[in-house]
Structure 1
Amino acid sequence: MPQNIPSGSLSTAPDSKGLNVRPDLLPESFFFLEKGQIINQEVSGKFGANGTVFRTTSKVSFTGKVYTICQGQVFLQPCGADTTKVNAILKPFNQPIKGLAIKYIVYRGLNRSDFFEGDLIKSTATTGFVDVIRKEFTGLYNMLGITVPPFTAQHIGFPAGTNQSVDDLIDDYFLKISKVEVTGGTATEQPKKAFELPMIPRGTHLGNVTGSIGIDIVLNEGDYTVANDPNPFQLNLAFARSADHVLDQAIGNTAFKKKLIRETATQFLDIAAFYGLHTQGKGKIHMSDNSVLQTPDEIYNQIQKFLTAQTTYLYIQGSRQRSYNFYGNQNLEGSTHNIKIGPTASNLSLEQFEAGWPVKELAAQPSLVLQLTTDNNDAAAMYVKQGVLHADTANEDYFIRGKNLLQEEGNGADTNFTKPITFSLNKTSANKTVASFVQLIYEGKTVKITSETPGPNPGDPAVSTSYDLKDIDDIFGLINVTPKVQSKGGNELAYVIDQNLLLIDFESKTRRKDIATVTTKKVEDLIMKNDTESLPRVTYETLLNNIRQNVGGFFESRAAYQDNSNSGTISYSDKRNNFYQLAFPYYLQTEKYSGANGVQFTGVSLYMDNGTLPSKKVLGITEDENNKIKTLISDKLLNNPKFYFKNELEEESAFYQSSEGIEYKKYFLAVLGEDQEGKLTIAFPDTPVYVTTLDSLAFCSEEYGKWLPITNSINTEPINLKIL
């Protein structure tokens, strides 16, 4: 039965100490195949790595009905060269597993005859999908009092003629804004965007399959495109239309492009592991006969014909949101080994995590224990994004750091590795491991970057300078991306969010560090200087996902306010200065002070309306300043760029003190990215871009701060005044 589900949030399950407890996942979805029909899978159809290729499509032999896994929009496309089949791309509206962001679910090989009669939608509703869209289509025209036109395939986005290109991104269709063209006084929609993608309830009979079906689950990294992206793989219509999809390193014509293709494997999730996750945190899988699967035995029995039904997948995100050891910084000295892994702490194998592909597949493993390499720096930390820690592994709300992570010298401990981290894997009553995946964010070794600058005289050798990657250098990216969520008009701003989590630190008054996971957001807007002049600017900010604090009874606590992390648009009025500002309860406040040379500066600090310590970091610069960095990225052909903050006083802990007694730091903004060989490099603009900070939370340029509208904790409405 189709199910429309209201959106919700994670429940909480605190213990008496508020430690070591994870909110229930509450996964809830519909099984995509009709119950009772025969399912089989060949080795050639199973998800995962096979030499230099990685199969993202899990393919099974099956004949019967197919259902929508969750509520979402559906986009139909051809299926390879087979004119009797179609593919369906489902974009979730309600995520079936809280905390697991799915971008698309791709069904490959549905019978075309269940959807279309020639170029028209079927006139008789033989599936729930056709029934839903026909009722909506006829209902709309009846409501408008207009004769119902022929319901063509193009009305729901299916290609007609050459109006779609295989190079078009799938996002262009889900996030499209229809545009009207006027020709000879007649207004018509652009053919490419003259359609509406239907919203379909969970559990809707989508179509039927005869012989076999493939399914891909694509994880969400954000709704944006990257300028000059060198990755040969793109989520485009070529991918959407494939009858069967694999990532093939052979299409990369350089070693770095092959590496990027391998990295792409972390964007996909096995369907068996997806359903296996329902054994964690009170999950429910609805079936076509109205039964509901909840126990490990019930769920395993339903997925057991998938050859990966007992496979645990290990995903580890390392520095700069790349996979573990992407930059080679995790290897033991003189070796390619970088992980100890096995079923128990006394039975670990020394291995190379990323050998082949950066997704570790562990078949029928009864439990999981691992140790990762570390240099024992005081910021080393791990966050368990997905997975269940065993009770023997000490943690702070699934953050692992300090004495919980690092080993003490002595007693034969190999301090090149973390302590053993143990995960519990769900099993059936017959002791069979149920498929799942463990996803970690880990930063345990300092990343070192070497920058080369020309010698002082022509012909002199280049001067090499080594830098350590600081926490702030791994935060603000999105510099050269374009949001796919489009604004509808002049009075609307589109903003973009990177959905990949980051580990960051906040300095606490106990001289210890609070640790948090965040996503990042970028907004481009403008500030009115006066009635006629404006200043285009760019604001980057972190959005809190989770935080673990070091709080004593005599110190202020840091806000645990969770931010909205969905891309979208913001409406505004051009009649007054109410352009983008931080969401309540955060606000920025300016303060004038005298610099070291006596020049007046405008400092910017971040505050909370309720007086607690902010759990956010902000970078504010003008559009011109941002464009200098974007030009540098383009000129140097840098990939995965982020802002690099170089302290003008060289030593990171050093700061200036104004004549008013205000302490501040001044940074020279550069860009850190991967060159065309994948090597990390720092590039500095010819014309310096400076930002200052008073609180190590808000980093703003002078021009950004000078024109910042006045706000305060009582009234956060901006005032259209220049700050003098």
Structure 2
Amino acid sequence: MKIDCTGEVLFLPKLKPLREFPVTFFFLLTPKQNKMPQNTTSGSLPTTPDGNGLNVRPDLMPESFFFLEKGKSFTQSSSDKFGITGPYGSTVFRTTSKINGYNGKVFTLCQGQVLLQPCGTDASKINVILKPFNQPIKGLAIKYIIYRGMNRADFFDSTGTINGIGATGFVDVIRKEFTSLYTMLGIAEPTFTAQYLGYPVSGSTENPDEVLIDDYFFKVSQAVNNNGTVTEPANKAYELPMIPRGTHLGTINGQLGIDIVLNEGDYTIENDPNPFKLNLTYARKTDHILDPAAGTTAFKSKLIRESATQFIDIAAFYGLHTQGKGKLFVKDQAAPAQTNDEVYDLIKNFATAKTTYLYIQSSRQRSYNFYGNYKLSATNTNNMKIGTTVNDLSEQKFDDGWPLKEFSERPSLVIQLTTDNNDAAALYVKQGVLSSTTANEDYFIRGGNLLQEAGDNINTDFTKPISFDLKKTSSNFTIGSFVQLIYEGKSLEITTAIPPIDPSEKIYLKDIDDVFGLINASPKIEPKSPNELRYVIDQNLLLIDFDNNAGGKDIATVTTKRVEDQVMKNETDTLRRVTYETLLNNIRQNTGSFFESRSAYLDNSNSGTVTYSDERNNFYTPENPYYFSTEVFTDIMGETVTSLFLKLEHGTLPSKKILGITEDENLKLITIINQSNLNNPKFYFMNEMPDDADAYTSSEQKKYKRYSLSIIGENSSGDLVIALLSEKIYVNTVDDMIFSSEEYAKWSPKTLSTQKLTPSFFI
């Protein structure tokens, strides 16, 4: 289930008269702040007092609750800390930060839904999974917070019955709602059991390897009629409760583990080869470790290591509260912890309290050097320089087995990354504080700010030094945090093709080839009727360029979205389509006052559904202020072609790219993905012209480009492969913004104010 606005929650039953059934909940939500897609901007670009917009980013403004009691001591050994443990070559990665010797209460870090699960084989313990409703840190999407090893007796007794009022704050919240509901309805209150909170009932046959945690939070409750007896599956017979921030969950006497899982999107990938899954097996561990030895192939082991980027250390999470107007609320403390010293005092007993983590995402949303293209030479596998100042930088490897670096008690951080000095090389600082010595454009670094000019004693294989300020206490202790970068500094060549091509034909990824994925993704949010559009978001940021009228390039960070829809061709026939689009996260423009500016409209970035009535045509249109216009022309073969323009109501230039094809065309591409056994597939746009900058000219003197679609993905060995279709699928573009197949464009509906189209009208 997905809740799309902030509000007050009331438990209500799904009433099923004249039969016995397990009581199930749904939520009556009184909205306070709408979070559904709106036709307004969700943010604005930062500017400096002098108006040039350089070297500035919005404050993080984190707000969360400290999950332990202040003043209660605990210890953490180096073997129980978050992160890499063990010698190189046999290291594992602990995702669970485990503490010992704690005797006190445990609290919810933020507002969210709660799911209960067993904790290993210890019947006296349970794990609590909290799915955030309001994200505690802007720009840091958290999927789950998992408390491992809570005392079961704080929640329910040995029969599974939820405790009475006064046991804990958590029990008080759910008990009061439960009782008030049945009092209001005038119905005798049934036994309130842990099953309603997701805890498995006795005799449950579900396979924890096959059931994802998402299946509980995004389920659709369904009744099943079996020979006249209507029942509901045990794992769908309830809705999970919403719990306020700072709620007392339970009391710990000894050991507790906590995981913070970052959100990559609410979807699953068909035939995902990564052995690590966010399933019930993971959810029920007493503590969790990523062990590459669990991979049966070198590539699967590599994917297990890559999964480390899905997690963040609890100490680093709280350390981010020192980076811009943070508020860390503490039990029985009137004012939140806000100063560096106050925050550090709360986390100082963690072994990682002074650890800085460096995450670098590169091409195709993989970690830096995942494909081995970031190295100095065939004999020198170092791929970056690291130091505390620009004068003590030394060559190192970023990828010593794991896709992140850990720095303990480092006073400052300076890095240089490898590059081939291509014009499109760029870096974006998603998390971290750049020092004043590093020139940037609102935390975008490119061009002369990134690349070095050749000269004496200058190695242009590296970027310019990039310096970060690390927060410190008044005693000069570094406060744990993490730096997250998106960097594309080297061109990526594809050397293998299916079927094989001429080895002399070089294939390099273009900017557009690293954008549209989600081809074989399955949304977790299920539609409740055929008249709902399903859309799914990949939450990982991408760098993308837009050509501007000044002859340069604007640069942006985007997420990507896929939408399924259908249009009525006539009263009986429909056409199903698939649309891929970018959603703007941030943008940096390089235009003078004489040139038209580009839209800074920031898109909604939540997966979900959009419902239409039965009288309305069920089709996709981009959100305001964007809309489609059509261009009909005669191509060089003499055929009539329909192509689409992407336009904005207020006349500025688009900051969005869209790919539109039919479902049949999409299925052909999925077939080639399955036949070639490709992982992490994305569209490759193969230009029909020798130079991608070239365009065709129609008989009406209209400039246009034509691409055939192929798929680029990773084979079972992890090598990049391009898979070519025997029967080509062509897309056309007249504006380099929207790329559409003929069938998609020809049947794009005209949007009327009522949207009542029976049958559809077309442009």
Give the TM-score range, shorter chain. Answer: over 0.9
Distance 2:176 2:512 in 1: 53
Contact 2:498-2:722 within 8 A present in 1 as well:
no
Q: What is the deviation of 1:181?
A: 1.4
Tell me the residue number matched to 2:93.
Answer: 54
Distance 1:572 1:455 in 2: 46
Contact 1:500-1:519 within 8 A present in 2 as well:
yes
Residues 317-332 of structure 1 aligned to structure 2 (within 5 Å): 317-332=361-376
Tell me the residue number matched to 1:343.
Answer: 388
- Measured against aligned partners, the alpha-carbon deviations of 1:405-433 in whole angstroms (never above 9, x if no partner) come to 00111142110000000011100011110
Residues 282-297 of structure 1 aligned to structure 2 (within 5 Å): 282-291=325-334, 292-297=336-341
> Relative to structure 1, is the Cα distance of residues 554 and 214 closer, same or farther in structure 2, using a 3 angstrom cutoff?
same
Distance 1:315 1:569 in 2: 32
Q: What is the deviation of 1:453?
A: 5.7
SS across alignment from 2:495: strand
Aligned length: 715
Q: Are 1:224 and 2:267 matched, yes or no?
A: yes
Q: Are 1:394 and 2:394 matched, yes or no?
A: no
Q: What is the deviation of 1:136?
A: 1.5
Tell me the residue number matched to 1:18.
Answer: 53
Q: Are 1:450 and 2:489 matched, yes or no?
A: no
Tell me the residue number matched to 1:240.
Answer: 283
Tell me the residue number matched to 2:157.
Answer: 117
Distance 1:618 1:537 in 2: 13
Contact 2:497-2:724 within 8 A present in 1 as well:
no
Structure 2 portions without partners, runs of 5+:
1-6, 9-31, 36-41
Tell me the residue number matched to 2:478.
Answer: 433
Tell me the residue number matched to 2:206.
Answer: 164
Tell me the residue number matched to 1:315.
Answer: 359
Q: Are 1:407 and 2:448 matched, yes or no?
A: no
Distance 1:355 1:648 in 2: 41
Q: Which amino acid aligns with 1:137?
A: F
- Measured against aligned partners, the alpha-carbon deviations of 1:440-484 in whole angstroms (never above 9, x if no partner) come to 00000000111346679xxxxx75632010000000000001000
> Relative to structure 1, is the Cα distance of residues 270 and 186 closer, same or farther in structure 2, using a 3 angstrom cutoff?
same
Q: Which amino acid aligns with 1:515?
A: I
> Relative to structure 1, is the Cα distance of residues 390 and 567 closer, same or farther in structure 2, using a 3 angstrom cutoff?
same
Q: Which amino acid aligns with 1:287?
A: V
Tell me the residue number matched to 1:467.
Answer: 507
Structure 1 portions without partners, runs of 5+:
457-461
Tell me which of 176, 181, 194 is aligned to 1:135.
Answer: 176
Which piece of structure 1 moves more, 241-250 or 11-20? 11-20
- Measured against aligned partners, the alpha-carbon deviations of 1:179-211 in whole angstroms (never above 9, x if no partner) come to 011234443322220012110000000111121
- Measured against aligned partners, the alpha-carbon deviations of 1:597-645 in whole angstroms (never above 9, x if no partner) come to 1110001110011111010000000000000000000000000000000
Tell me the residue number matched to 1:381.
Answer: 426
SS across alignment from 2:60: coil
Q: Which amino acid aligns with 1:343?
A: T
Tell me the residue number matched to 1:503.
Answer: 543
Structural RMSD (CA): 1.8
Q: What is the deviation of 1:11?
A: 8.4
Tell me the residue number matched to 1:459.
Answer: none
Contact 1:452-1:465 within 8 A present in 2 as well:
no
Distance 1:597 1:67 in 2: 68
> Relative to structure 1, is the Cα distance of residues 110 and 721 closer, same or farther in structure 2, using a 3 angstrom cutoff?
closer
Q: Which amino acid aligns with 1:104?
A: Y
Contact 2:164-2:172 within 8 A present in 1 as well:
no
Contact 1:453-1:463 within 8 A present in 2 as well:
no
Q: What is the TM-score normalised by the length of structure 2?
A: 0.91
Contact 2:566-2:618 within 8 A present in 1 as well:
no
Tell me the residue number matched to 2:568.
Answer: 528
Q: Which amino acid aligns with 2:319?
A: G
SS across alignment from 1:577: coil
Q: Which amino acid aligns with 2:425?
A: A
Q: Which amino acid aligns with 2:451?
A: L
> Relative to structure 1, is the Cα distance of residues 88 and 453 closer, same or farther in structure 2, using a 3 angstrom cutoff?
closer
Residues 662-673 of structure 1 aligned to structure 2 (within 5 Å): 662-673=702-713
Distance 1:50 1:255 in 2: 20
Identity %: 62
Tell me the residue number matched to 2:305.
Answer: 262
Q: What is the TM-score normalised by the length of structure 1?
A: 0.96
Q: Are 1:84 and 2:129 matched, yes or no?
A: no
Residues 2-41 of structure 1 aligned to structure 2 (within 5 Å): 14-15=47-48, 16=50, 17-41=52-76
Q: Which amino acid aligns with 1:196?
A: E
Tell me which of 217, 222, 237 is aligned to 1:194.
Answer: 237
SS across alignment from 2:124: strand
Q: What is the deviation of 1:12?
A: 7.2
Contact 2:498-2:724 within 8 A present in 1 as well:
no
Q: Which amino acid aligns with 1:640?
A: N
Which piece of structure 1 moves more, 398-407 or 9-18? 9-18
Q: Which amino acid aligns with 1:250?
A: A
> Relative to structure 1, is the Cα distance of residues 475 and 150 closer, same or farther in structure 2, using a 3 angstrom cutoff?
same
Distance 1:582 1:121 in 2: 47
Q: Which amino acid aligns with 1:20?
A: N
> Relative to structure 1, is the Cα distance of residues 175 and 443 closer, same or farther in structure 2, using a 3 angstrom cutoff?
same
